[in-house]
Amino acid sequence: MILKSKLIGKNINFRSVTVDDAEFILSLRLNPTLNKYLGTTSALLSDQQNWINAQISRPDDYYFMVESKDGKRLGTCGIYDVKKETFGCGRWINDVGAPAYVAVKYFNAKQLFL
């Protein structure tokens, strides 16, 4: 699903991923330093774009781009299977240069969905 506006945090922001983010996401997913514990993914940009397009139409499933306050993309995270009081989280991958606090802020943002 697409969140209509950004989630604004103190140090980072979250916005819905778009197809325009596919190349950046693919660069993270194909980075051997970052993908050590991830499932394999296709190296084709078109496959990543198709996956994003399919994900956008899933109800109760949000895929976020994590950005610095100045708009630099830092990584991704997802919140899915949103129910009345529960949800799953994952699809979390941060760029090599992302600040260490990004992970903590991600988990704090989840409370917006409860």
Domains of the chain: 7-113 (3.40.630.30)
Mean pLDDT of the chain: 86
The pTM assigned to this predicted structure is 0.85
Tens of pLDDT, residue by residue over 42-97, are 999 999 999 999 999 988 888 999 999 999 999 998 888 888 778 888 888 999 98
Query: What are the residues whose beta carbons fall under 8 Å from the beta carbon of 5, sequence distance 6 or more?
Result: none
- In this predicted structure, what is the pLDDT of residue 105? 59
Using CA atoms, how far residue 14 sits from 41, 43, 79, in Å, is 23, 25, 12
Residue whose C-alpha is closest to residue 61's, from 32, 90, 23: 90
| pLDDT tier, 22 (very low <50, low <70, confident <90, very high otherwise) | very high
- In this predicted structure, what is the pLDDT of residue 87? 81
